[in-house]
Structure 1
Amino acid sequence: MTAPPLRHPWPAPAKLNLMLRVLGRRPDGYHRLQTVFQFIDRQDRLFFKPRDDGRIRRTSNLAGIPEESDLVVRAARLLRDRAGSGLGVDIRVEKQLPPGGGLGGGSSDAATTLVALNRIWDLGLSESELTELGLMLGADVPIFVYGHAAWGEGIGEVLTPIDLPEPWYLVLVPQCEVATAAVFSDEELTRNSAPITIKNFIAGDDRNDCLAVVRRRYPEVSAALDWLATVGRPRLTGTGACVFCTFATVAQARAACSMAPPRFSAFVARGMNRSPLSEVSRV
């Protein structure tokens, strides 16, 4: 597979957190975590048009996301300044992933921007250098640069590749956005879980320590989890708002999706151990 031509899209896939344990709070206020990331075949699409005047612009209008605070703009500027480049770019973002949904949409867009512009601007930064820049933008950006399903530790940036089954997922999108910072600052959040191993996870220990807090704070998420329990085993990705359950076949997932209440957006997606961004960038 070759890298996309300049006018063709670069993928920014979603992820699911298949487990999330909070081990403790660090002196800097961040939390020590254990988690498992897997990609799904739902994605945003980004288009890049290089400029030679050093300007970085987002040409798409994204409701509720000012250009100056958009992670794609911040990522492009960070990369340009890190490399000492005089180049610029126009960036168009076609959004499919909901904000505040726990699918990593903004972080994935930022990672795709780093990876694509490193290639387009011919900067030659290594994956580890891009990962370091990504961590400056957010704890979820490194997994999207890394590009493989992974066991995550630290604040989610210490990654170990893991090969998982690639099932079909039914994902519900409640009509709310979850404030991750509010969940992690909640006094009732479990912060002292004992660490587990990959073997423990594979054996079925896949709880999410944020679940109880998110249920209490966000009734729409709680309602989505309750409905999913009628068709499968409901789970929360990250701090949500999105919830999901697993099916062995696409037919089973689509049948369940067809029964989802209209109050929730719902879609079916395939689990993927390798990111489509990784496929186009490592040629």
Structure 2
Amino acid sequence: MNDAPELRDPEVMTILGRGRIEITGRLVAASNATLFGTASVDGVSVKCVYKPVRGERPLWDFPDGTLAGREVASYLVSEAAGWHVVPPTVLRDGPFGTGMVQAWVDTDTTDDLVDVCAPKKVPKGWLGVLRARDDDGRPAVLVHADHPELRTMAAFDVVVNNADRKGGHVLAGDDGHVYGVDHGLTMHSEDKLRTVLWGWVGEPLTEEIVDALGMLRAELEGPLAERLGDHITLTEIRTLTDRVDGLLGVGRYPEPSGYGPAIPWPAF
């Protein structure tokens, strides 16, 4: 096989969409069927995750069979804003039927960006989210890095209404970029934001994020809405647009709504 292209190389999308998928393993900790393998075209392979629709676990608040499409919709939003938060993602037929296929992110497992630690061991410059106690009753703090790409991810999560931003869904890629994965619980028309990235509550959005939101808003007036319509409902597209408008109008990171849990469980 030839060397795999870089994660953000446009060739990756072509390989994910057209390549022959070979399954080599399963991520057993995932709540939905999550298979690992490669997609290959003309001797070039890309490591990937494949989540067939038939392997989705039914949920009371998200329509059955829609999670794979929501993952693709989140990718489309990320790309339209120029954020590149989500690894390349497509919806296509695979060995077990239609499903989401996403480029695998190679990571340095020693470079965690979200952690739980003792209050006195919080890394310098990191931001606290939640104080709690561990299984032995000792004080613990949920914290995350004050990283510019995490700031972007936090804004992205507000826009897509991410109900499941766990610490384990934040990946520091070997390519030097930060990625978010597992976006099946997004795009709902009701407020469901649950995330571990609350460190910037009330702080102004950066100029770069405001510019990206403006670009995304313009794209929602064009072909992006039609592409999203293949994966989410018209109501969900309208509320997505409302969230962009709301974030632009306030210009700050929001506080938890108070209508439900602000942090997913488990947090990792």
Shorter chain as normaliser: what TM range? under 0.3
Q: From the two aligned structures, give the one with the greater strand fraction.
A: 1
TM-score by length of 1: 0.27
TM-score by length of 2: 0.28
Structure of higher RCO (CA pairs closer than 8 Å, 6+ residues apart):
1
